[in-house]
């Protein structure tokens, strides 16, 4: 059975939506996903780095992230034909481990928790496909990378791109 590795943040879980709620509240702003088009969060505001770190260091921050539309349904369908691994670069944010694990158990209870991989360098993942919003993870990955569209990667080229979970479904239906 072929394997699909799937990133969490900005692929399954809408990290940006929650972060923008905190940012807009704390900086009295009204930033939308659209305003972030083509940029990373840290480019939004010079004060953002410490604010972002505060949110990331809060162990509960990742616990109630919104689920990306259609991800549950499509991942369930894929799990009937592929071995699914959730591969999150949680080593970058160690405080997130428990919240991410619990979030996965709540929103994707049909997945095998033994296939939740909290890692740093995703080249260690032995999978046929990797769905991720950060192309840096494709550099040493041996399988096929699928770049999941996020505000920060809209201008990147040279990768197979999927814009949403319905396009993920279409991609794998064609295989």
Q: For 44, phi and psi rounded to 5 degrees? A: -70, -40
Annotated active-site residue in 7, 14, 132, 133? 7
Among residues 9, 14, 132, 133, which one is catalytic? 9
Paired with 116 in beta bridges are 86
Token duo for residue 172: 């794998």
Query: How far apart, in whole angstroms, are the C-alpha atoms of residue 92 and residue 134?
Result: 13
Sign, Cα dihedral of 80, 107, 169, 162: negative
Is-catalytic flag, 9? yes
Q: Which residue is associated with the tokens 């505060």?
A: 54
What is the Cα–Cα distance from 157 to 167, expressed in whole angstroms? 17
Residues annotated catalytic, as ranges = 7, 9
């Amino acid at each position: 059975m072929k394997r699909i590795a799937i990133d969490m943040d900005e692929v399954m879980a809408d990290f940006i939506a929650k972060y923008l709620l905190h940012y807009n509240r704390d900086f009295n702003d009204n930033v939308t996903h659209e305003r972030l088009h083509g940029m990373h969060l840290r480019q939004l505001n010079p004060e953002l780095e410490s604010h972002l770190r505060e949110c990331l260091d809060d162990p509960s921050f990742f616990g109630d992230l919104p689920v990306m539309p259609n991800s549950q349904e499509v991942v369930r369908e894929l799990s009937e034909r592929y071995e699914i691994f959730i591969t999150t670069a949680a080593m970058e944010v160690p405080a997130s481990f428990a919240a991410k694990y619990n979030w996965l158990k709540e929103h994707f209870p049909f997945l095998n928790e033994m296939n939740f991989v909290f890692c740093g360098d995703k080249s260690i993942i032995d999978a046929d496909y990797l769905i991720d919003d950060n192309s840096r993870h494709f550099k040493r990955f041996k399988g096929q990378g699928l770049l999941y569209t996020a505000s920060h990667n809209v201008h990147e080229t040279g990768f197979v791109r999927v814009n949403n979970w319905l396009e993920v479904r279409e991609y794998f239906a064609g295989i």
